[in-house]
Structure formats: C-alpha cells, structure tokens
Structure 1
Amino acid sequence: MPAYEYDCMACAMRYTKVRSMNEEDPGYKCDTCNKDLVRVYSNVGVTFNGSGFYKTDNRKV
C-alpha cells in the first residue's frame, strides 16, 4: 500500500499515512492541534531509458 504525506497548516507538523489507493481520503486530523491535514504532492524522480529520448537518437551521423 502506498504512503501519503499530509501537512498541518496550523502547526507545521508533517504526517505519513499508509492507505489503499482505492480508499477515499478520510480527512485526517492533526494529532497536535486537531486541525485538518492537507495532502502534500511531492516531486518524483523519472528516468527515461532506451532509444527515443534524446535529440541525437534520430539524427543521421
């Protein structure tokens, strides 16, 4: 199951919650101040391997 990160905008706490991709967001609350948590969308690393991803792949030599 994937892990999702949530931030509390009131006290700046960050939480990681593990839940199914099919499960709806249950509306988590902060353990410290009991305010609503906001889901954080993080950057992911992408690596392109193989032919077709570089400008020199189709250039005639």
Structure 2
Amino acid sequence: MPTYSYRCTACDNAFDIHQQFSDASLTECPSCGGQLRKVFGNLGVTFNGTGFYRNDSRSASKPVSSTTASDSGGSSSGS
C-alpha cells in the first residue's frame, strides 16, 4: 500500500497515511477541520547499470574506413 503525505493549509499539521489506490484522497484535517493538500516530494529512484542512456546502449564508435578513388578504381596499368 502506498504512503501519502498530507499538510493542512490552516494549521500546517503534516502527516503520512497508508492508503490504497482506490481510496479517495483526504480533504479534511483531523486536527482542526481545515483543508488538506497532498505533499509531493522527490522520489528516491536511482538508475544503476548500463543501458539507461543513449550512449550506453551503443557499442564504441568505430572509425569509418573509407576508400579513396585512387585506392579502388584508378587507372589500370596492366593492359
């Protein structure tokens, strides 16, 4: 079950509660009866390993071997 953080807009009371995805969001502060707002924080996600970036999934760049006109198709001198 996920944990949601709430903070009251009237009294600044903050608390966490376990709720199912199908449960409705809380709207009333249990302390003062004021309006509650969900608090969204940073997620603790770390991507370790290879393949998470475009350059990680590719093999090392190889130099392109280009043949010049003089190497492959110049004039033939054997005829």
| Common topology (TM > 0.5) | yes
> How many aligned positions are there?
60
Alignment match, 2:30: 31
- As a proportion of its length, which structure holds more strand? 1
Moved over 6 A (4+): none
- Report the residue type matching 1:20 in the other structure: Q
Once the 2 structures are TM-superposed, how far is the Cα of residue 48 of structure 1 from its aligned partner?
Answer: 0.9
Match of 1:25, SS? Answer: coil
The Cα RMSD (Å) is: 2.1
- Structure 2: state its 5+ residue gaps: 62-79
- Partners of 2:26 and 2:33 in 1: how far apart? 14
Alignment match, 1:9: 9
For the pair shown, the structure with the greater C-alpha radius of gyration is 2
Q: Percent sequence identity over matched residues?
A: 37
- As a proportion of its length, which structure holds more helix? 2
Q: TM-score, normalised by structure 2?
A: 0.59
Once the 2 structures are TM-superposed, how far is the Cα of residue 21 of structure 1 from its aligned partner?
Answer: 1.1
Which structure's relative contact order is higher, taking Cα pairs within 8 Å and 6+ residues apart? Answer: 1
